[in-house]
Amino acid sequence: MTTNSVTIQRILKTSPEKIYRAFTEQDAISFWMPPYGFLCVVHSLDVRKGGAYKMSFRNFSTGNEHSFGGEYLEIKPNEFIKNTDRFDDPNLPGEMTTSVWLKKVSCGTELKIIQEGIPEMIPAEMCHLGWQESLEKLSKLVEPEIPD
């Protein structure tokens, strides 16, 4: 079976700690992770090595939903997250691996994401576009500095 992979790099004007929180807090994930036109429900989230998560995305236009989950393989707070992803739909077989690096730089944080093992029926360019949309939403969550 052929699989796809995508690599995304972006500089965000915020700290690694704030981005890490966005990847590890349930409400934050449901806000920024689904691409435009989708809603997300995080059903469970246990961010630790060996911990698992489960979530679903719903297409707001059609109502169609797909659920997926995985396991956290490696966690280095504020630096690195590696997890598996597996769709519940048998038509989307296989296991993906997503690695996220956070590196402090002079103007914020360099974010690098590599997602591997994307099922061949999901075009890499569509996955890349989805990540671009999600990261645009992520930047709108983590970059503002709003006082209490």
User: Residue 1 pLDDT more than 60?
Assistant: no
Distance separating alpha carbons of residues 44 and 112, to the nearest angstrom: 25
Domains of the chain: 3-142 (3.30.530.20)
Distance separating alpha carbons of residues 137 and 44, to the nearest angstrom: 22
User: Residue 104 pLDDT more than 60?
Assistant: yes
The predicted structure's pLDDT at residue 109: 98
- The amino acid that residue 93 corresponds to is P
Mean pLDDT of 8-21: 98
The predicted structure's pLDDT at residue 27: 97
SS3 content of the chain, % helix, strand, coil (to 5): 25, 45, 30
Distance separating alpha carbons of residues 103 and 58, to the nearest angstrom: 32
Write out pLDDT tens, residues 112-148: 999 999 988 888 899 999 999 999 999 999 999 998 8
Confidence of residue 17 (pLDDT cuts 50, 70, 90): very high
